[in-house]
Amino acid sequence: MLIPIKKTFIFVFIAILLAASYYYLKQPKPITVKIYTVEKGQVKSTVSNTRVGTVKACRRAFLAPATGGEVAKLHVEEGDVVKERQVLMEVWNEDLKAQVELQMAEITTKQAAARQACLLAAGAERDAVRLKKLQKHNQIVSENDVDDAVTLARANRAACQSKKAAIQVSQARLKVALAAVQRTMVFAPFDGTVAEVNVELNEFVTPSPPGIPTLPAIDLLDISCLYISAPIDEVDAPRIKLGMKACVSLDAFTEKRCSGIVTRIAPYVLEKEKQARTVEVEVKLSDPKETQDLLPGYSADIEVILNSKEQTIRIPTEAIIENNRLMILNSEGVLEERDFQPGLSNWNNTEVITGLDVGEQVVLSIGLDGVKAGNKAIAEQ
């Protein structure tokens, strides 16, 4: 009877082993998830631009002559550094310069004529004074002679004044002629660098018609002073104040530049068709080292710092599920859903006020299949 009992025991053992193997094989394998170990650090509450911003020069001038004509002289090339009031180009103006010379010659002639008239007036006045004295001392001088002398003196004095007035008229005409010459010349309104020259020698240029913009003859930039202009959504704009600190990111460079200060907030909301309404905000970098390699036209993003906390519990913002929930990997390797109370937040980090402790493991792979409370998981190595 022992042999059947032993066989039964063996069969039962094998059945239990097979059942255990089947159960083990049917158990879901732990999911490999990316985790973040909670720690303390800095968290900033920030506002960023909605569309790409631009590095701009503090001063920029699109220059063209006020009078059309043939380009006679071009004194600069692209990249030249110029000084304020330096002549950059001239339209043909020889006829106008001749008018200036003519007016200067006329002034010289009229000044000589005025001197002559004034000398004659002075002599006539002296003669009139002498005749009056002779008449007063009962000398034989008729009343008619005295009257003629006084009249002649007054007439000469009037001629002197007329000649002087004629000089003033000629000087005014000289100013008009000089202004006409000035209208054919382009001057630098400030110290700067020539960005573009859009004309050639002997080319004919004309001023832009009203309401029809054309290419400027010369584009002048003051690159010694740069700022970043970027559009901020109208919802976020009220929280930004002048003087707030800001960081600047540029596509052309990897490092973030954080010496920025908000220097201007536009006093109006920009309304463009098919675009969200925004407010232009300008940021200047206060550290000269951070502006050395910048060029006007670079694309840039700004991040205005509204508030900041040091050494506070923080987590990556990407780990947050809607309604302020997180997925935690507990010490037993099981996923656990938990609520938490957030504080300051930005695109990168969020402050944890309550609900988490330093050292706990937060799951970052929240979109991965199988990441559900109760499932087993292991941390990605």
List the domain boundaries for the chain.
Answer: 28-44+309-379, 48-59+224-307, 65-89+184-216, 94-183
What pLDDT score does 2 carry? 46
Q: Report whether pLDDT(5) > 50.
A: yes
For the domain spanning 28-44+309-379, the CATH number is 2.40.420.20
Give residue 131's pLDDT band: very low, low, confident or very high (50, 70, 90).
confident
Q: For all residues of the chain together, what is the average pLDDT? A: 89
Calculate mean pLDDT across residues 150-171.
93
Strands 377-379 and 31-33: parallel
Give residue 1's pLDDT band: very low, low, confident or very high (50, 70, 90).
very low
Calculate mean pLDDT across residues 333-361.
92
Backbone φ and ψ for 149, nearest 5 degrees, come out as -65, -40
Tokens of residue 142, six digits: 């008729």
* Strands, E assignment, 35-101: 35-37, 39-48, 53-63, 69-74, 81-82, 87-91
In which element (H, E) is residue 14 found?
A: helix 2-26
Buried b / exposed e over 89-108, threshold 16 CB at 10 Å, is: bbbebeebeebbeebeebbe
Closest listed residue to residue 191, CA positions, set 150, 236, 222 = 222
Opening angle at CA 349, ends 347 and 351, nearest 5: 125
Calculate mean pLDDT across residues 109-119.
94
What pLDDT score does 63 carry? 92
230-281 pLDDT, tens per residue?
999 999 999 999 999 999 999 999 999 999 999 999 999 988 867 789 999 9
Closest listed residue to residue 131, CA positions, set 119, 147, 115 = 147
What pLDDT score does 207 carry? 79
What pLDDT score does 202 carry? 93
- Number of other CB atoms surrounding residue 286 within 10 Å: 12
CATH class in words for 48-59+224-307:
mainly beta
Give the relative orientation of helices 143-182 and 94-136 as an angle to the nearest 10 degrees.
160
Q: Report whether pLDDT(136) > 50.
A: yes
What is the reported pTM?
0.66
What pLDDT score does 275 carry? 76
Ranges 87-101, 141-155, 172-186, 286-300: which has the least confidence: 141-155
What pLDDT score does 271 carry? 86
Domain over 65-89+184-216 is classified CATH 2.40.50.100:
yes
